[in-house]
Amino acid sequence: MQKLLLLALVGLGAQLVDGSLGMAYGVTSTTLLLAIGTNPAAASATVHLAEIGTTLVSGLSHWRFGNVDWKVVLKIGVPGAIGAFAGATFLSSISTETAAPLMAIILLVLGLYVFIRFTFQGLPKGQLGKPLRKRFLTPLGLVGGFVDATGGGGWGPVGTPAILASGRLEPRKTIGSIDTSEFLVAIAASLGFIWGIGSENIDYGWVLALLIGGVIAAPIAAWLVRHIPPRVLGAAVGGVIILTNTRSLLRSDWIEAPDAVRYVFYGVIYAAWAAAIVYSVLQYRKNAAEEQQIIAEAEALAATGDAPDDKAAANA
């Protein structure tokens, strides 16, 4: 019962982060499941089954708050589902001894990306309102879906920064559209895992606990996305992911680092993590007025109808 309550709290916290940052539900939840000794394929399957419910509620909540661009959802979600099914069947076919450190490496890379991207970069400033085309979103969806299934998370860390970096979609709609399209990815990945490892290898009590926590948090996160500083949250979450997966790698059969080496790594990570959070807070305060102006201009542009761009997007 204590473990189920902990998983529910993990699901709640992960969804608060995911719904307000556009990433990290799967990465955070899978990292913690692996830390308590769960089989990699079963951990990813558990998280993706829970995500069917959390992404549905999150998508509806984002839609209610006007955070969703449905054209983007379809253009990236369908190829994302194809990539997720392929990734799930691949992960199900390899041994646990190979999968555990492989997944830790994927999660560590994603954690570093989240950490660096949101610590050192603010919101993009150019090209807001221009259409996102299929030739950009289709390969992005395929890669994001495959990484998401094999890493137990990655749809947000791949998709959200890429779309933000394009500068064509305002942050809240980027986050809302990525969260909503993840519903398709979660269904496809879950089917792939059930096909690959069988439903009997999945603990549905754990799925339910993660689901309950995530469903509670989803509407709160959709509201918070208008108010929370993304770069501060990204630095904090990225640090958790880096620390946890570094620990898994250093204790794995691949490395088996001695205690002295591990403690040096942990000390460096803690110091960098604290410095990044402080830096992110200071930079956010410095640039808050400018970033709010960018968002306001994008919302004003959206309110005019974007007629020329909408026509271009329809032909994309």
Which DSSP state fits 38? -
Interacting residues of 263 by C-beta distance below 8 A, sequence separation 6+: none
Q: How confident is the model at residue 269 (pLDDT cuts 50, 70, 90)?
A: very high
Nearest to 17 by CA among 201, 238, 314: 238
For residue range 136-191, list pLDDT tens digits in order.
899 989 988 888 887 767 787 778 777 776 767 777 788 889 889 989 998 998 88
DSSP per-residue codes, 260-297: HHHHHHHHHHHHHHHHHHHHHHHHHHHHHHHHHHHHHH
Q: How confident is the model at residue 310 (pLDDT cuts 50, 70, 90)?
A: very low
Of 28-32, 96-100, 252-256, the least confident: 96-100
Q: How confident is the model at residue 249 (pLDDT cuts 50, 70, 90)?
A: confident
Number of domains in the chain: 1
pLDDT of 122 strictly over 60? no
Mean pLDDT to the nearest integer, 202-219: 78
Residue 161's H or E segment, with its range, is helix 155-166
pLDDT of 64 strictly over 80? yes
Mean pLDDT to the nearest integer, 81-92: 87
Of 40-49, 56-65, 261-270, the least confident: 40-49
Residue 207 confidence (pLDDT): 81
Q: In 239-266, which positions are buried (b, 16+ CB within 10 angstroms) versus exposed (e)?
A: bbbbbbbbbbbbeeeeeebeeeeeeeee
Which DSSP state fits 65? T
Mean pLDDT to the nearest integer, 82-103: 76
Structural domain including 176 reads: 2-314
pLDDT of 123 strictly over 60? no
DSSP per-residue codes, 174-185: HHHHHHHHHHHH
Question: Contact at 8 Å (CB) between 140 and 159?
Answer: yes
The position carrying tokens 């918070």 is 224
Please tell me the distance from the alpha carbon of residue 280 to that of residue 284, in angstroms, as a whole number: 6
Query: What is the pTM (predicted TM-score) of this model?
Result: 0.65
